[in-house]
Structure 1
Amino acid sequence: MGAVKTKRMPRAVREQQMLDAAVRTFGHRGYMAASMDEIAELAGVSKPLVYLYLNSKEDLFTACIRREARALTEAVRAGARPELPADRQLWSGLTAFFTHTARHPDGWAVLHLQARTHGEVFAAEVAAMRAEIVAFVTQLILAAAREAHRDPDLREAEVSGLAEALVGAAESLADWANVTPGVTARQAAATLMNFAWAGLGDLMAGRHWSPPDDTGDADAPGPQSGLTSPVR
Structure 2
Amino acid sequence: MPRAVRERQMLDAAVRTFGQRGYRAASMDEIADLAGVSKPLVYLYLNSKEDLFTACIRREAQALTAAVREGVRPRLPADRQLWEGLRAFFSHTAQNPDGWAILHLQARTHGEPFAAEVSAMREEIVAFVTRLIAVAARDARRDPSLPEHEVAGLAEALVGAAESLAAWANAATGVSARQAAATMMNFAWAGLGDLMEGRSWSEQR
Matched, 1:123 2:105: no
Separation (CA, whole Å) in 2 of partners of 1:181 and 1:205: 37
Separation (CA, whole Å) in 1 of partners of 2:95 and 2:125: 19
SS of structure 2 residue aligned to 1:13: helix
Q: CA deviation at 1:198?
A: 0.7
Matched, 1:132 2:124: yes
Contact residue 138 and residue 163 of structure 1 kept, 8 A:
yes
Contact residue 138 and residue 156 of structure 1 kept, 8 A:
no
Counterpart residue type for residue 123 of structure 2:
A
Separation (CA, whole Å) in 2 of partners of 1:157 and 1:81: 26
Counterpart residue type for residue 188 of structure 2:
A
Matched, 1:18 2:13: no
Separation (CA, whole Å) in 2 of partners of 1:125 and 1:211: 39
Q: For each residue in 1:84-129, what CA deviation from the matched residue of structure 2 results, as whole angstroms up to 9, or x when unmatched?
A: 1110000000000000000000000000000000112100100110
Q: CA deviation at 1:158?
A: 2.7
Worse-matched range after superposition: 189-198 or 142-151:
142-151
Q: CA deviation at 1:80?
A: 1.4
Separation (CA, whole Å) in 1 of partners of 2:104 and 2:141: 36
Separation (CA, whole Å) in 2 of partners of 1:82 and 1:148: 16
Higher relative contact order (CA 8 A, sep 6+): 2
The structure 1 residue matched to 2:106, chosen from 107, 111, 114, is: 114
Counterpart residue type for residue 97 of structure 2:
P
The structure 1 residue matched to 2:28, chosen from 20, 33, 36, is: 36
Contact residue 142 and residue 198 of structure 2 kept, 8 A:
no
> Could you say what the CA RMSD is over the residues aligned between the two structures, in angstroms?
1.3
Separation (CA, whole Å) in 2 of partners of 1:60 and 1:183: 32
Q: CA deviation at 1:81?
A: 1.1
As a proportion of its length, which structure holds more helix? 2
SS of structure 2 residue aligned to 1:149: coil
Contact residue 142 and residue 197 of structure 2 kept, 8 A:
no
Aligned residues between the structures: 205
TM-score (ref. length: structure 1): 0.86
Contact residue 146 and residue 152 of structure 1 kept, 8 A:
no
Counterpart residue type for residue 92 of structure 1:
E
Matched, 1:156 2:148: yes
**Structure whose alpha-carbon radius of gyration is higher:** 1
TM-score (ref. length: structure 2): 0.97
Aligned to 1:197: 189
